[in-house]
């Protein structure tokens, strides 16, 4: 059972210009995830998909063993889904399982990737998402509770909480991806990560706070 890593890196970023290659914690943002994948025990091949020549050039400088894929502009639009990129990749390359990682989750480590793959194999999963456990009470806009009963409010230590996708990475079996055209289908599992991994780099405010934090943790 092989595991192939795919790291999508679109050139256009409206919230933070050149986000994927902007210096973060002393090196390009993409370098953190690239290093984590490189040091994984179970990743067989690494591919970076981008419509930007500049991004591909920087990725090659960081790790010359990464396979570089020039993405079509039609797959680099604001509304292009990750599934579209994954399916395009599947139409061109053979793999057993695809590990799709997000550059905007720089706290991801090789240990996270390896432990998730171990769980994927041991539990016979078809797909997996990474998550953090949130111990908060949620309500819908209709003012109905989503994950607890207000009349039987639990103490924090007795409250199991709710799993939240953190988008760090996903593992998808090729057959499931081809059949359902979705990253999550079949027997779905989750790999829980520390709360620090709930943060994603989407806005400039995130950048300032997280760049200080990563120097203390990595």
Which residues are the active-site residues?
153
Q: Is 115 left (phi over 0), alpha (psi -120 to 50) or beta?
A: alpha
Quick one: CA torsion of 48, 193, 196, 98, rounded to 10 degrees? 10
Chain centre distance of CA 30: 12
Q: Dump the DSSP string for 35-64.
A: HHHHT-SSEEEEEEEES-HHHHHHHHHH-T
């Amino acid at each position: 059972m092989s595991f192939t890593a795919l790291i999508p890196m679109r050139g256009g970023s409206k919230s933070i210009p050149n986000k994927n290659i902007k210096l973060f914690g002393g090196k390009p943002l993409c370098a953190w995830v690239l290093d984590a994948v490189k040091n994984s025990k179970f990743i067989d091949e690494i591919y970076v998909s981008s419509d930007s020549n500049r991004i591909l050039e920087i990725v090659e400088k960081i790790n010359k063993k990464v396979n570089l894929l020039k993405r079509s502009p039609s797959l680099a639009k604001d509304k292009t889904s990750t599934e579209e990129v994954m399916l395009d990749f599947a139409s061109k390359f053979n793999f057993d399982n695809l590990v799709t990682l997000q550059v905007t989750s720089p706290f991801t480590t090789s240990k996270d990737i390896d432990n998730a793959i171990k769980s994927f194999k041991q539990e016979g999963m078809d797909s997996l998402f990474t998550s953090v456990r949130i111990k908060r009470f949620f309500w819908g806009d209709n003012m109905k509770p989503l994950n607890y009963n207000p009349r039987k409010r639990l103490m924090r230590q007795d409250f199991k909480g709710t799993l939240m996708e953190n988008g760090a990475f996903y593992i998808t079996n090729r057959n499931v991806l081809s059949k359902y055209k979705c990253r999550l289908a079949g027997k779905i599992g989750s790999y829980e990560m520390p709360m620090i991994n709930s943060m994603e780099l989407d806005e400039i405010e995130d950048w300032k706070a997280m760049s200080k934090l990563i120097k203390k943790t990595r």
